[in-house]
Amino acid sequence: MKDVVEIRWHGRGGQGAKTACLLLAEVAFNSGMYVQGFPEYGPERMGAPITAYNRISRERCSVHSNIYSPNFVVVVDETLLKAVDVTNGLKEDGAIIINSEKTPEELRPLLRGYQGKVYTIDARKISEEAMGRYFPNTPMLAAAVKVSNVVDSDHFIRDMEASFRHKFASKPHVIDGNMRAIRQSLEEVCAG
Amino acid sequence: MTIRNRLSGNEAIAYAMKQINPDVMGAFPITPSTEIPQYFSTYVANGEVDTEFVAVESEHSAMTTCMAAQAAGGRAVTATSSAGMALMWEMLYVAASSRLPVTMALVNRALTGPININCDHSDSMGARDSGWIQLYSETNQEAYDNFIQAMPIGESDEVRLPVMVCQDGFITSHAVENIELLDDGDVKRFVGEYAPENYLLKKENPLAIGPYDISNYYMEHKKQQAEAMKNAKAVILSVAKQFEELSGRSYGLFEAYEMEDAEVALVLIGSSAGTAKETVRRMRGEGKKVGLVKIRVFRPFPMEELAETLSKVSAVAVMDKAESFSACGGPLFAEVRSALYDLERRPKAINYVYGLGGRDICVEDFAMIYGQLFEIAKTGETGPVYRHIGQRELGGDR
């Protein structure tokens, strides 16, 4: 099972981390992969820390436990860096992707000694510019795709566009905003 | 023809229900029930099925509704979980003893105290004596496949018993994974029409169902019910064979995974079997002869078949995702150890209670247990029989 890519999402209830996790499963599925996308359920409240997981592989993965040594960690809310040990078990040859206006160098001291790659993406700016409101999950999904490379970026763009056209057939402005956010995020995700 | 898709376990069950298009769904539409009635109600609202959806005020009424529909000659389904099924308790027994083959999708979650919403098998294990057939699922695929097989099993003339199709709460019910769906027409043909011999309002032979049964008759009726459960084993296997012809997917009373030459083995139920299979693959890669048995059918219990499969191993760990407070082991352990009794040469057996209230279990945990089994096989010393894995309090694992 060496070729299973494991991703852990950290967010706060209401920010769409679970939705982003399920969307990632969807786009990986659409590119022919075997997928798992599942949230960890606890006391559910708006604003409480939540965790969600993806396993993506060429063959069906039968493991049904949570993920303790992920290849990638996605942090949808920067304030979690102090509240949750987000790099716990994260592989050193993997990467963490954080929603922040700060640079990777500025955030590294908060990562409890993690030596692997750190990426940042300003999902608030991208979301507010492209969609007029703060929906961090679309830009974070794009950043996760770009960094993890579980799906080819061009394929991902085509797939998301088709999916949005289907979902928001009566709201074309929503489609355009989301697609702008995705393209911008793919370009702007910043390596440290 | 199969259709590649990705669905959560709850979506998979709702989809199977849509393909079956039952006459009635009696369900409580909110927590503690599952997302299944919610997804299915969308199909009803969109006119994709012509099922009568009865949104009841409690789970007790959900089961009563299903029983009434079934008694009238219809086909009824429900879905529930945990405390929801607990509120059906009285009616579970009535459905089974009235020989009404209702089909229930059960999402296994803890029967609470302290409050917990996560997975374990305490709900269905508590209902093991209610007279329902119980099929358990490792994955969303198995939940879907088991649900499609449930009606041909339960409605069979030799059986006529209700069937609950169980899957692990959240672990598979809320996890999106790949699934192969069958064609609508194939499912409809496989499940067929429900045509009971007698029903409430049959003009030629109207029937009363569930009247008072005096002692002179009651025990005969219970014996008939017990015989029906015995008959179910052969019917389950025959339905599985037909299902394999349709889908290419093979099912038995249990799945024996790498058991041909296994020296030690696990017996377990549900989603964690998938995790343990990964442990088996890794340990087999190191040349260690480990295997596992995943129970699909817990009621009726496959006693002789299981004993035969375990007859060649030296040591076995039976894994219970339910604490039944017997002071001597969990419900699956009681059955498995009883099955081993008739063997000439019995393996040593230990019991692990695990996964209560959503406590996770990993590939490495199963490797640790296999290690203990090899030690038991080598020394012949079983040590403590009744164990709880991963206890965080001092001395709690004894």
Same structural domain, B241 and B259: no
Distance (Å) from the alpha carbon of B91 to chain A's nearest alpha carbon: 30
Q: With an 8 Å Cβ cutoff, are A64 and B274 in contact?
A: yes
Residue B184 has pLDDT above 60, yes or no: yes
Best CA proximity match to A58, nearest among A150, A132, A141: A150
Measured between alpha carbons, how far is A22 from A154 in angstroms, rounded to an integer? 19
CA distance A41 to chain B (A): 7
Contacts of B129 (CB under 8 A, 6+ apart): none
pLDDT value for A178: 93
Residue B393 lies in a domain: no
B162 prior amide bond cis, ω within 30: no
CA B246 to chain centroid = 22
The residue of chain B nearest to residue A56, with distances taken between CA atoms, is B177
**Tell me: the pLDDT tens digits for B213-265?**
999 999 999 999 999 999 999 999 999 999 999 999 999 999 999 999 999 99
- Tell me the per-residue pLDDT of A134-156, one tens digit each, with 9 for 90 and over: 999 999 999 999 999 999 999 99
Single out the residue in B191, B220, B247 at which a domain terminates.
Answer: B247
CB-based contacts of A154-159 (< 8 A; 24+ apart in sequence): A155/A31, A156/A27, A156/A182, A157/A182, A157/A183, A157/A186, A159/A27, A159/A30, A159/A31
Is A34–B170 a contact, with Cβ atoms under 8 angstroms apart? no
A11 contacts: CB under 8 Å, gap ≥ 6: A17, A18, A20, A49, A50, A52, A75, A76, A77, A80, A136
A26, A39, A60: residue with CB nearest B174: A39
Residue A38's closest CA among B320, B168, B149, B163?
B168
CA distance A21 to A8: 9
What letter represents residue B188's amino acid?
A: K
**Mean pLDDT (whole number) for A95-108:** 97
Report the candidate in B15, B16, B23 with the shortest Cα–Cα distance to residue B196: B23
Token pair listed for B392 = 């965080």
At residue B33 the predicted structure's pLDDT band, cuts being 50, 70 and 90, is confident
B295: distance to nearest CA of chain A, Å? 16
CATH of the domain at B167: 3.40.50.970
Structural domain spans, chain A:
5-191
How many Å apart are CA B396 and CA B382, to the nearest integer? 18
Are B176 and A68 a contacting pair at CB < 8 A?
A: no
Residue B397 scores a pLDDT above 70: no
Model confidence at B64: pLDDT above 90: yes
Does residue B30 carry a pLDDT above 90? no
Query: Shortest CB distance from B278 goes to which of A22, A29, A62?
Result: A62
> Is B334 domain-assigned?
yes
**What are the residues facing A5 on neighbouring strands?**
A56
Percent of chain A with pLDDT strictly greater than 70: 98
Residues in chain B: 398
**Is pLDDT above 80 for B392?**
yes
Under 8 Å between Cβ of B296 and B249: no
From residue B342, how far is each of B253, B305, B310, B385, B398 by CA, in Å? 19, 12, 12, 19, 28
What's the pLDDT at B194? Answer: 95
Mean pLDDT over B143-149 rounds to 98
What are phi and psi for residue A150, nearest 5 degrees? -70, -20
Alpha carbons A44 and A46: distance in angstroms, whole number = 7
How would residue B131 be classed by pLDDT, with cut points 50, 70 and 90? Answer: very high
Q: Is B178's CB within 8 Å of A29's CB?
A: yes
Residue type, A97: I
Residue B171 resides in a domain: yes
Q: Which phi and psi (to 5°) does residue B180 adopt?
A: -105, 115
- Among A26, A34, A62, beta carbon nearest to B274: A62
What residue type is B29 in one-letter code?
P
Residue B227: partners with Cβ closer than 8 Å, 6 or more residues away? none
- pLDDT tier for residue A2 given thresholds of 50, 70 and 90: low
Q: Find, in chain A, the residue whose alpha carbon is nearest to that of B365.
A: A65
Mean of pLDDT values over A113-141: 95
CATH H superfamily, domain A5-191: Pyruvate-ferredoxin oxidoreductase, PFOR, domain III (3.40.920.10)
In terms of domains, do B205 and B335 share one?
no
CB-CB neighbors (< 8 A) of A63 in chain B = 274-275, 278, 363
Do residues B138 and B94 share a domain? yes
The confidence band for B56, taking pLDDT boundaries of 50, 70 and 90, is very high
Tokens 């002179």 map to which residue?
Answer: B216
Residue B177 to residue A62, Cβ atoms within 8 A: no
Distance CA B263, CA A110 (A): 49
Q: Among all residues of chain A, which has the CA nearest to that of B360?
A: A65
Q: Write down the H helix ranges in B98-214.
A: 122-126, 140-154, 184-191
pLDDT at A1: 40
Share of chain A above pLDDT 90, in %: 83
* DSSP-based three-state secondary structure for B317: strand
Widest CA span in chain A = 48
Whether the pLDDT of residue A192 is over 80: the answer is no
Name the average pLDDT for chain A: 93
Integer CA distances (angstroms), B198 to B157, B175, B210, B231, in order: 11, 41, 14, 20
Best of A62, A66, A68 to disrupt the B interface (most B CBs within 10 Å) is: A62
Residue B159's nearest CA partner among B208, B221, B211, B224 is B224
Domain boundary among B247, B264, B291: B247
- Mark residue B4 as left, alpha or beta (left: phi above 0; alpha: psi -120 to 50; beta: remaining): beta
Could A62 and B275 be called an inter-chain contact, meaning their C-beta atoms sit closer than 8 Å?
A: yes
Q: How far apart are CA B25 and CA B12, in angstroms?
A: 16
The structure tokens listed for B282 are 């890794």
For residue B134, what are the domain limits? 2-247
Residue of A nearest to B9 (CA): A38
Would the CB atoms of A41 and B358 count as touching at under 8 Å?
A: yes
Min CA distance, B183 vs chain A (Å)?
Answer: 20
Predicted local distance difference test score (pLDDT) of residue A172:
85
Contact A34 B178 (CB under 8 A): yes
> For B326-346, how does the pLDDT look when each residue is reduced to its tens digit (9 = 90+)?
999 999 999 999 999 999 999
Instruction: State how far the Cα of B41 lies from the Cα of B53, in Å rounded to an integer.
Output: 7
What pLDDT score was predicted for residue B398?
Answer: 56
Q: How many inter-chain contacts (A to B, CB under 8 Å) are there? A: 60
Asked if residue B290 and residue B175 are part of one domain, the reply reads no
CATH code at position B266: 3.40.50.920
Q: Are B117 and B51 in contact (CB under 8 A)?
A: no
User: What is the distance, to the nearest Å, from the Cα of residue B91 to the centroid of all Cα atoms in its chain?
Assistant: 18
Q: Is residue B71 part of a domain?
A: yes
Contact A36 B277 (CB under 8 A): no
CA distances from A15 to A47, A66, A97, A130 (A): 8, 21, 16, 17
Burial of A59 per CB tally in 10 Å (0-12, 13-18, 19+): exposed
Indicate if B211 and B72 belong to the same structural domain: yes
Contacts of A65 in chain B (CB under 8 A): 275, 360-363
For B103, which DSSP code?
Answer: E
Cis before B300? omega within 30: yes
* Residue B77 located in a structural domain: yes
Instruction: Identify which of A29, A34, A65 has the shortest CB distance to residue B360.
Output: A65
Mean pLDDT of A95-123: 97
Chain B residues within an 8 Å CB radius of A64: 138, 168, 171-172, 175, 271-272, 274-275
The CB density around residue B308, as the number of other CB atoms within 10 Å, is 13
Interfacial residues of B (vs A; Cβ cutoff 8 Å) = 6, 117-118, 138-139, 168, 170-172, 174-178, 271-272, 274-275, 277-278, 281, 358, 360-363
Would you call A60 and B174 a contact, using CB atoms and an 8 Å cutoff? no
Go through chain A and tell me how many residues it has: 192
- Of B6, B275, B360, which is closest to A35 when you measure between CB atoms? B6
Identity at A64, one-letter amino acid code:
H
Q: How many domains does chain B have?
A: 2
> Which of A27-36, A141-150, B388-397 has the lowest average pLDDT?
B388-397
Does residue B396 form part of some domain?
A: no
Cβ of B391: how many Cβ atoms within 10 Å?
Answer: 13
Point out the domain boundary residue: B247, B275, B292: B247
Query: CA of A68: which chain B residue's CA is closest?
Result: B362
**Cα dist from B260 to B141, B283, B339, whole Å:** 25, 15, 19
pLDDT tens digits along B282-336: 999 999 999 999 999 999 999 999 999 999 999 999 999 999 999 999 999 999 9
The pLDDT tens digits for B195-225 are 999 999 899 999 999 889 999 999 999 999 9
The residues of A whose Cβ lies within 8 A of any Cβ of B are 1, 22, 25-26, 29, 34-39, 41, 60-66, 68
| Distance (Å, whole) CA B136 – CA B294 | 9
Q: Using a CB-CB distance cutoff of 8 angstroms, which residues of chain A are in contact with residue B10?
A: none
Is residue A168 very low, low, confident or very high in pLDDT (cuts 50, 70, 90)? Answer: confident
The predicted structure's pLDDT at residue B112: 85
Residue B206: strand pairing partners: none
Within a domain: residue B394? Answer: no
CA A183 from centroid of its chain's CA atoms: 15
Looking at residue B364, its pLDDT comes to: 97
Quote the minimal CA–CA distance from A103 to chain B in Å: 34
B151 & B80 share domain? yes
